[in-house]
Amino acid sequence: MENIIELTEITYDQKKLQNWYLEVKKHTVDKGLFVYQTQQSSAPPHYKWNGRRLNNDILKESSYPNEYAECDEIIELYGLFNFKERPSCALVIYEPNFIFDPHKDDGRTSYIAFPIFPDDGGVGIDFYSTEVLSEDGKIIWLDKHDDKYSIGHHKYSTKHPTLINVEKPHGCRNDNRNRVYLQIDVYEKFNSIKQQIKDGIFFT
- Give the domain ranges of the chain: 4-199
pLDDT digits (tens, 9 = 90+) for 54-85: 999 999 999 999 999 999 999 999 999 999 88
pLDDT digits (tens, 9 = 90+) for 8-19: 999 999 999 999
In terms of Cβ atoms closer than 10 Å to its own Cβ (0-12, 13-18, 19+), residue 82 is: exposed
Angle made by CA atoms 40, 52, 162, in degrees to the nearest 5: 95
Q: Which helix (H) or strand (E) holds 93?
A: strand 89-94
Which CATH class name applies to 4-199? mainly beta
Supply the pLDDT for residue 32: 86
pLDDT (mean) for 1-30: 96
> SS3 of 78, please?
helix
Q: In the predicted model, is pLDDT for residue 45 greater than 70?
A: no
- 74 and 89 Cβ atoms separated by less than 8 Å: yes
pLDDT (mean) for 32-38: 74
